[in-house]
Amino acid sequence: MNRIDEALLERARNHVMTPAERIAQRRSWVKGEFMMEHPEMPEAAVDALLDKTLPELARKDNPR
């Protein structure tokens, strides 16, 4: 492993997620799980459903 790889790994190990990053990760997980169970639903419909039913995970760029 070279020095750049080691530096990147060390940086990742020490990263503390911000509240916005945690929310984005939770939303991504919920969306992925939902889409695996309902593959017939378009992604836009899943996004709209998440914004409506889980406002704490709503996208900040989505005006309600």
Q: Where are the domains of the chain?
A: 17-64
| Whether pLDDT at 49 is above 80 | yes
Predicted local distance difference test score (pLDDT) of residue 26: 93
Against a cut of 0.75, is the pTM above it? Answer: no
Say how many CA atoms lie within 13 Å of 36 toward its Cβ. 5
According to the model, what pLDDT value does residue 55 have? 87
Contact 51, 62 (CB under 8 A): yes
Q: Hey, is 14 helix, strand or coil?
A: coil
Name which of 8, 59, 16, 12 is nearest 49 in CA terms: 59
**pLDDT tens digits for 22-41?**
999 999 999 999 999 999 99
Element of type H or E holding 45: helix 43-53
